[in-house]
Structure 1
């Protein structure tokens, strides 16, 4: 029936709005979580690209761990303290700049920062290989600048996943698999590092540069456009205030100086005045950073006012566990290479158990999230660190692989792939909603900075008990001293995680009363 002109002037109040009217009034929802609408093959390409952030991060660590002696020999480096810088410098930069990388992603776009991070990582990987024509100083600087690549890709990769999937099982599994890609990256680093070292070690980094440049190009296509929250027009001053430039400067300076002091002391000892100066300046800059973040910054890069005792326990457990892991992976390798006479390729084969162990751990965490308390997952990880590091510290250097070494690798991988997601979940449940996005970035900062600082502390112990490392026996004594220090850190982590669980249980019981 055709309505008359009179009846068309006013719609009856009870008339339901048409679908067209609803679409006009409400924004379409299909673009809120873009990955939910992708086909399965397209999702695989997308998440696989994001996982390269963790994968390539671990490649950068693994490809140098087993070949550090070959690279050091090329540059005439014999001191283990100087060699540790080739590892510590990379982790130091990642841990120092991850928070900044996450903030830049929030301001300028996660996808853009992810692609830039891969390109930057590729550039300095090429420079690391070219350092063969210069000196170890250029190589160390290249390794330091390499770390800025993962500092951009890791937090922004996690940010992209969080914005691309609606909350639920798929999001939980995507985060679990993100952590589960780490063992594959470590094995790839060990394997290809050892293979290219057989030809010429610079190809370790030149091949890495080629692969990373391909990932950067592919990521620009594979990552779907991210929804951008509309922002009011801001002046340059307001944009700088949002970036918290003073907080960035004082925080980065404090972390670098403090870590530099501990790692450089391994090389030149604590008798050099500039080591103390760097340490004192690091403490002063850290004090300035805390004052800025608490009292001055309008948009603090690290909102300390939101932290509580739960966060303190998370930080402490994460720091002790990953510092233990950094020392373990460096010194168990040195014992095998320098005392046991094994080759880098053998080392790559010996670390293969991290793949099944890491996969099972990642899948288990993804399935258990929400079913058991995250504090119990944290305790499991800390116990794994403790048992794995004890096996490494007590291992006879010429024992067969299938005893101490095999079980140490198998068990400590559980610590890696349970402690990170557990820490991120506890952090997420302990801070207000507006700080949820920074949880993974903060935990990653603690993870990577702890690896670097732990190596510096372990190196100091090694140098003070190995009598100069002139004989294999003295070298082994120093290595074992460092490994027993990792046992002590892991034991402290177990105690702290148990205290946290007790504290959580008491809080729950008091809330019921």
Structure 2
């Protein structure tokens, strides 16, 4: 940080001669620029362009959650097109998408560091658009194709999310403005989920594939807007000093670490999400689980012993960062469980249509926006420490999922369901910007892609893994009672949220004791 400040101060100070006087025009020296540009691109562009840049970057988060939410409310409609009713197989429409989002984010963050965040963001939008078309076209084929398409569709957000956040992290200096932008980035998550679900539900009244084709068109529009609005940023000159050779690529991108890391995460997650369908006592579950753990050990060995530039920024992973990532993992796994069973209860137990389900979720974006503004204010002008904000977020997750886990099946909407939709967004929109801000300020400016990737990896991988864990619980406690199965999964989420809240409280106690000792 001091290095950046030094560059800024040097650039902002007029050149001086040996006598200490400023060099003036006409003294044999090239004239000074009348205005010295800031090293932060956000301070050198017009206000309309800045707004459009932030809008496009936030659309990466919006579209990620819109795709997640729209399939969630249409899950049974889509399954009905293929005569699929098994809960475990239907869950793959959600967990398969979240699996690739969470698994590939870290690698594509590194690609953004090497090749440019803007370039990768535009590629991500186009990839996302292409596979959204394929998801719709799968209606002419079979259920295997739509799962395959959803898995590959998830690579689009995996490219977009870290590079959109890296753009914001690299164009804004640390401060209130940056905190507010990151807070708004988090705020569009519930907004995207609800609006995406509403639009998809309305379009599905004609035919559900059109929801994905319309979504594809919007993603292509975003790629064009991003090309116009996002300022070009300097690429790392030293990244490929000797050309795009295999050796340069291997060193810069840490390909052995990327291959082993991604493979281990995919296998481990696949085992947990497949177990509810085929059971634990099968090779289809046991083999990928063991292989995933073994390959993860190889990944750790490669990163620690051989990687010239490790995929993970180990110099930034201190006690505070580890605490944040642990709390985020518990909170967002809880969110994945909550949203899955919340919608299942509304549609399967209360027999609501997709559109009416979305109507019952309407408070989410409103509450999310309020939560984002409060979070930005707490982290910005009030300078509340992120651990406190994270504790408040986990408390919101815990209360929210407890309300749904215990709601009576015939209670009116204005009881626990309405209160829950007010509280849950505070968990999302307090934890995400706080964690992202910590990581963005902890890593060097040229590694913003990797820093942003860590939070997004934990968020999305935890959602997929949480759904897998809860599905296993659901299958084992169902016994012909659908509501009992849903509640079993939700109670598992209550346990996860409570664990995250406990981690936050312990961290606050530790922090308090350290401060007392220093005094």
Superposed pair shares fold, TM > 0.5: yes
The yes-or-no answer on 1:161 pairing with 2:194 is no
Over aligned residues, Cα RMSD in angstroms?
Answer: 2.2
Report how far residue 508 of structure 1 moved: 2.5
- Structure 2 equivalent of residue 234 of structure 1: 242
- Structure 1 equivalent of residue 473 of structure 2: 461
Q: Who wins on radius of gyration, i.e. which is larger?
A: 1
Report how far residue 230 of structure 1 moved: 2.9
- Structure 2 equivalent of residue 7 of structure 1: none
CA 1:501–1:19: 2 relative to 1, 3 Å = farther
Cα deviation per residue 1:352-385 (whole Å; 9 max; x = unaligned)?
1112211111111111115211111001000101
- Structure 2 equivalent of residue 192 of structure 1: 199
- Structure 1 equivalent of residue 328 of structure 2: 318
The yes-or-no answer on 1:510 pairing with 2:506 is no
TM-score relative to the length of structure 2: 0.91
Cα deviation per residue 1:310-330 (whole Å; 9 max; x = unaligned)?
333222211111011100000
Distance 1:259 1:13 in 2: 67
- Structure 2 equivalent of residue 8 of structure 1: none
The yes-or-no answer on 1:384 pairing with 2:384 is no
For residues 12-51 of structure 1, what are the structure 2 equivalents within 5 Å?
A: 16-18=22-24, 29-30=36-37, 32-51=39-58
Distance 2:29 2:187 in 1: 42
The yes-or-no answer on 1:338 pairing with 2:348 is yes
What SS does structure 1 have at the residue aligned with 2:392?
helix
Q: Are the counterparts in 2 of residues 336 and 397 from structure 1 also a CA contact under 8 Å?
A: no
What SS does structure 2 have at the residue aligned with 1:199?
coil
Cα deviation per residue 1:176-197 (whole Å; 9 max; x = unaligned)?
1111111210111210121122
Cα deviation per residue 1:47-80 (whole Å; 9 max; x = unaligned)?
1111111110111111111110111111111111
For residues 228-377 of structure 1, what are the structure 2 equivalents within 5 Å?
A: 228-231=235-238, 233-235=241-243, 236=245, 237-304=247-314, 306-370=316-380, 371-377=383-389
Q: Which runs of 5+ in 2 are unaligned?
A: 1-16
Q: Are the counterparts in 2 of residues 98 and 151 from structure 1 also a CA contact under 8 Å?
A: yes
Worse-superposed segment, 391-400 or 164-173: 164-173
Distance 2:415 2:470 in 1: 25
What SS does structure 1 have at the residue aligned with 2:205?
helix
- Structure 1 equivalent of residue 7 of structure 2: none
Distance 1:433 1:31 in 2: 15
Q: Which runs of 5+ in 1 are unaligned?
A: 1-10
Report how far residue 431 of structure 1 moved: 6.5
- Structure 2 equivalent of residue 5 of structure 1: none
What SS does structure 2 have at the residue aligned with 1:486?
helix
Q: Are the counterparts in 2 of residues 115 and 220 from structure 1 also a CA contact under 8 Å?
A: yes
Cα deviation per residue 1:449-499 (whole Å; 9 max; x = unaligned)?
0000000010011111112x4xxxx11110110111111111111111101
Q: Are the counterparts in 1 of residues 113 and 446 from structure 2 also a CA contact under 8 Å?
A: no
What SS does structure 1 have at the residue aligned with 2:408?
coil
What SS does structure 2 have at the residue aligned with 1:59?
helix
Worse-superposed segment, 145-154 or 367-376: 367-376
TM-score relative to the length of structure 1: 0.92
Cα deviation per residue 1:22-58 (whole Å; 9 max; x = unaligned)?
8778998526322212222222212111111111011
Q: Structure 2 residue aligned with 1:402, among 407, 414, 426?
A: 414
Q: Are the counterparts in 2 of residues 294 and 304 from structure 1 also a CA contact under 8 Å?
A: no
Report how far residue 248 of structure 1 moved: 0.2
Report how far residue 433 of structure 1 moved: 7.9
Cα deviation per residue 1:227-255 (whole Å; 9 max; x = unaligned)?
33432622511232111000000000000
- Structure 1 equivalent of residue 452 of structure 2: 440
Distance 1:199 1:501 in 2: 52
What SS does structure 2 have at the residue aligned with 1:77?
coil
Q: Are the counterparts in 2 of residues 293 and 303 from structure 1 also a CA contact under 8 Å?
A: no
Cα deviation per residue 1:275-323 (whole Å; 9 max; x = unaligned)?
1000000001100011111111000011346533333322221111101
Distance 2:67 2:29 in 1: 51
Distance 2:150 2:266 in 1: 14
Cα deviation per residue 1:405-448 (whole Å; 9 max; x = unaligned)?
11111101110000112223444566788866533210110000
Report how far residue 16 of structure 1 moved: 3.6
Distance 1:293 1:182 in 2: 32
Report how far residue 271 of structure 1 moved: 2.3
Report how far residue 106 of structure 1 moved: 0.7
Distance 1:34 1:434 in 2: 14
Count residues with an aligned counterpart.
Answer: 497
Report how far residue 273 of structure 1 moved: 1.2
The yes-or-no answer on 1:450 pairing with 2:462 is yes
- Structure 2 equivalent of residue 86 of structure 1: 93
CA 1:394–1:22: 2 relative to 1, 3 Å = farther
Q: Are the counterparts in 1 of residues 182 and 437 from structure 2 also a CA contact under 8 Å?
A: no
